[in-house]
Amino acid sequence: MIDPDTVRTSRDSGLTVGVATPAAGLTVVTLGGQLDAVAASDLRARLDESDIAGCPQIVFDLAAVDFVDSAGLAVLVWQRRSCRAHGGDVVLVRPDSDNAMRVFRLTQFDQIFRMLPQQQDD
Amino acid sequence: MTASADPTELVIEGTTAMVRKIGPWLHGVLGELPDDEAGAIAARLELAVHEVAMNIIDHAGLPVAAEIRFSAGITDSVVEICVTDPGLPFDPAGVRIPVAGVPQERGYGLMLVRKLVNDLDYRRVDAGNRWTLRVNRTPPADSQKTGNEHQP
């Protein structure tokens, strides 16, 4: 569960970023909006902050992301390399939007990243 | 954004923040198409045109305050988007083509464009560049089987 107090919305890009640490060494980053070139640098900066940097296992919940471009994809690949260097990995929660899934499918990153279905509210 | 009286044209400053103007403009231009067709084509073209624009912004060495111009044309068979910029010539040899199954951070932009459109043309025109993206108006039902958004 993301603490609403941790959710930040970038003034420049409109990307919302929520961070939770449900267990030691595991961080859940919940994104909303457009994960594109406009948002990429803000997200990289957030991932470099002390509460996330160096965490070996990161789950990016992309369910509420409605657009991803190659620059957004690059941030996830960059973070994957960092996590794997720390003995962990990046796992993605699948976007609800077909538009957002398109870039993963066309680059075959849907087969490179471990992608989880969305959580059901029941 | 520079105002344009013609709704089939869009002019933006060549900066990253301005690429968010492309999607709303495209959806407006394609509004004359039937809803289901407009939605499918807009989704493909929004990402493709966005990636072309970012390629220009990142690699064309645009002069300060340079503009990128977009124009749209729709016929019975095709939707065509032209993108022009005053930047340096594009060098296809400088594009690092991603290897399937080997993740890399860069190089996916133009690969995506080629998968999203039916035809992509680049020309050096006068002192600038012109990219033309064409999407056929009747997408094949089995397009996803190829891994592309269109038939090869």
Q: What is the pLDDT of residues A66-114, one digit of tens each?
A: 999 999 999 999 999 999 999 999 999 999 999 999 999 999 999 999 9
* Residue extents of the structural domains in chain B: 9-146
| Least CB–CB distance from A69: residue in B47, B104, B106 | B47
User: Is the CB of residue A9 less than 8 Å away from at least one CB of chain B?
Assistant: no
Mean pLDDT of chain B: 88
By the 8 A CB rule, do B150 and B117 touch?
yes
Do B149 and A106 count as a contact with CB atoms less than 8 A apart?
A: yes
Q: How much is the pLDDT for A121? A: 57
Q: How much is the pLDDT for B145? A: 46
Question: What residue of A is the nearest CA neighbor of B17?
Answer: A38
Q: Which residues contact B135 (CB under 8 A, 6 or more apart)?
A: B41, B44, B45, B48, B78, B79, B116, B117, B118, B150
* Confidence category of residue B91, pLDDT binned at 50, 70, 90: confident
Taking the domain A4-116, which CATH number applies?
Answer: 3.30.750.24
Taking the domain B9-146, which CATH number applies?
Answer: 3.30.565.10
Q: What is the pLDDT of residues B119-142, one digit of tens each?
A: 999 999 989 999 999 999 975 454
To the nearest whole angstrom, how far is the Cα of A102 from the nearest Cα of chain B?
Answer: 9
* Confidence category of residue B103, pLDDT binned at 50, 70, 90: confident
* Residue extents of the structural domains in chain A: 4-116
User: Is the CB of residue A74 less than 8 Å away from at least one CB of chain B?
Assistant: yes
